[in-house]
Amino acid sequence: MAAATKVLNLQKNIVCQTGKHTASVIFLHGSGDTGEGVSSWIQDLMGNGMVFSHIRTVFPTAPPRPYTPMMGHKSTVWFDRHRISPDVPDHMESVDYMCEHLNRLIEEEVKSGIPRERILLGGFSMGGAMAMQVAYRHHPSVAGVAALSAFLNNDSVVYKAVREANGSLPELFLCQGGKDPLVVPEWVKQTHRTMDSLGVPCQFHFFPQMYHEMCAQELELLRTWILKKLPS
C-alpha cells in the first residue's frame, strides 16, 4: 500500500485584483527563487503593469528539496533534475509529488468560484516547465500556459499526455533569450516545434539579446496575451 503524500501548505505571495475577482493566474518561480522574489522582479520591470482589475495572481513558493545539479544541496525547486539538459528523462517522483500539491492550489481557486477555464498557469525557467507538466497532464481545460525561458525534456511525459489527449488543449506562450547561458535557446525551440507538431496552439517570442532573465518587452506581450485569454 502506497504511503500517503504529506500535505504541503505552499507559501504564496498574492497580487490581488483591483475589482471583482473573476479569473486567476498561477505563476511559478525559477529554481532557487521564491514567489515573493519573482513577484518583486516582475514589479521592478513593469511597476503595476501586471496588476489587473479582475485577475488575481498567485505566486507560490516551492518547498526546499535536494537538487542534483547543486550536488544535492537543498534549494527551492519544483522538481529535481538528473541534470540540466533535455536528453535525460523527467525526474518523475519529484515532478508528480509537486503536481499533486499544485493541483490542490488550483482546486483552491476553483472552490473560491473561479472555473478552470478562467485559470492560467505560467512560470519562469523551471517554473515554466512545471506549469506545462501540471496543465497538459492534469488540467487541460485551463485558459493557457506561459513558459518563459523554459523547456521540456526530449522524452517528457508531457508529450505523451498531449498525444493521448482528447479535445482541445490550452495555448502555449513561449519566450526565450538568444544569449541565455543556462537554458540553451535550441532546447526551447525544440519544445516549441514538438508541441506545435502535436497540435498544441503555440506562440513563440525570441529575444536575441536577452540572457536567462525576463524583460519588460516580454512581460508586456505576456500581459496582452493574458488579457486575451482571460478577458474581463
Q: Which of 39, 139, 180, 192 is catalytic?
A: 180
**Residue 125 known to be catalytic:** yes
Partner residues linked to 174 by β-bridges = 147, 204
**Is residue 176 in some structural domain?**
yes
d(CA 198, CA 214): 27
Q: Which of 24, 125, 149, 156 is catalytic?
A: 125
d(CA 63, CA 98): 9
d(CA 71, CA 182): 17
**Residue 180 known to be catalytic:** yes
Residue 210, C-alpha cell as written in the block: 536577452
**Is residue 4 in some structural domain?**
no
Q: What is the DSSP string of 173-186?
A: EEEEETT-SSS-HH
Number of folded domains in the chain?
1
pLDDT in single tens digits along all 232 residues of the chain: 333 445 568 999 999 999 999 999 999 999 999 999 999 999 999 998 889 999 999 999 999 999 999 999 999 999 999 999 999 999 999 999 999 999 999 999 999 999 999 999 999 999 999 999 999 999 999 999 999 999 999 999 999 999 999 889 999 999 999 999 999 999 999 999 999 999 999 999 999 999 999 999 999 999 999 999 999 9
**Is residue 7 in some structural domain?**
no
**Is residue 37 in some structural domain?**
yes
pTM for this one? 0.95
**Residue 212 known to be catalytic:** yes
**Is residue 114 in some structural domain?**
yes
